[in-house]
Amino acid sequence: MAAARAGIGIDVGGTKIAAGVIGPDGTVGARSRRDTPAADADAIARTIAEVVEELDAPGAPVGVGAAGHVDLEGVVRTSPNVPGWVREPLQARLEQTLEGRPVVVANDADAAAWGEYRCGGAADVDGLVLLTVGTGVGGGVVIGDRLLRGADGGAGEVGHLIVDEGGPRCNCGNLGCLEAHASGTAIGRKARAAVAEGHVRSTSPLSGRAPGGAEVSRAALDGDPDAREIIAEAGRWLGVGLGALGNVLDPPVFVIGGGVMAAGELLLAPAREAMVERLLGRETRAVPPVRASALGSDAGMIGAGLLAGESTAPRVSADGAGGA
């Protein structure tokens, strides 16, 4: 057992840096926010250092959730949304810049999975699979009380399950990834195709427009049947992915976050139905619950802060009496 302490959690995305002081129970104290100078790795590191200074938590360890492939040494190999990061040794650089503070760098969705696991949508069980359905589909896996990072830090990329080989082009260049069918980007693409092909009623708020994913969600929540069908289709594809993941991992719970979760049950209900149909032996097995994220867009920041506070905590014996 490790006695956790407060950590600074920093979520670095393609457009913004969100930071906060995170208590051992996941509560968020002071916060800070900046734009991401995404083209310039030096500027990102300086901005992170400024944010840490501003948060005024002397000596607190720092956890960073970085949007990209983060290896086990905290090097960001590549990042689709932060072009300045190419084999960027972020952890080593921040350890040097933030003299004396321990630093942990992980993938942003992995950090979010840890947050949901420790004090969010999966706080009552011993693991989860998180899917964040936004512009893309990301995620993270916790199994047996451990964050799964994989042999080279590449684990948790659940958006790149191939569910429809040969299907629509994904941002990653492949065809038929889950992300190409269930992301906000995919929802927007399908809505624009439906409008162009005349499959949208003239009374729909989507009619005559070139809607994005968020617009489709809003129209669906307002009751538009065409928008609802487009969200439901994305939900069914999400369920195909959940079924595949259920067959391979059989997690205690799925947690779904990301911007598209604004659509709530309009997305989740068809996802659950499609998942159950695809679970092997579904008549006699437990079906994993599919829950909405409890931490929302704070999940990555909170998880990063928890990872930092926990991984740098002094080890104590199981009875809590002492330690080295």
Sites of contact with a second copy (CB under 8 A): 69, 77-78, 87, 125, 127, 141, 143-144, 146, 148-158, 160-166, 172, 174, 237, 240, 243-252, 277-281, 283-286, 288
- Pick between residue 155 and residue 214 the one whose CB is nearest to a second copy: 155
In the bound complex, what is the minimum distance in angstroms from residue 273's beta carbon to a second copy? 14
265 membership: H or E segment, kind and range: helix 265-278
- Pick between residue 252 and residue 264 the one whose CB is nearest to a second copy: 252
- Pick between residue 60 and residue 279 the one whose CB is nearest to a second copy: 279
In the bound complex, what is the minimum distance in angstroms from residue 56's beta carbon to a second copy? 36
Q: How far apart are CA 117 and CA 9, in angstroms?
A: 16
In the bound complex, what is the minimum distance in angstroms from residue 100's beta carbon to a second copy? 31
Q: How far apart are CA 183 and CA 162, in angstroms?
A: 14
Position of tokens 């057992």?
1
Q: Residue 101 in contact with residue 312, Cβ under 8 Å?
A: no
- Pick between residue 115 and residue 153 the one whose CB is nearest to a second copy: 153
- Pick between residue 77 and residue 192 the one whose CB is nearest to a second copy: 77
In the bound complex, what is the minimum distance in angstroms from residue 294's beta carbon to a second copy? 19
- Pick between residue 283 and residue 319 the one whose CB is nearest to a second copy: 283
In the bound complex, what is the minimum distance in angstroms from residue 113's beta carbon to a second copy? 12
In the bound complex, what is the minimum distance in angstroms from residue 55's beta carbon to a second copy? 31
CA distances from 136 to 15, 38, 133, 172, 195 (A): 14, 18, 6, 10, 22
The two structure tokens encoding residue 34: 């900046």
Q: How far apart are CA 253 and CA 289, in angstroms?
A: 5
Q: How far apart are CA 140 and CA 138, in angstroms?
A: 7
Q: Residue 10 in contact with residue 19, Cβ under 8 Å?
A: yes
Residue 143: other Cβ atoms inside 10 A:
15
The two structure tokens encoding residue 65: 């959730």
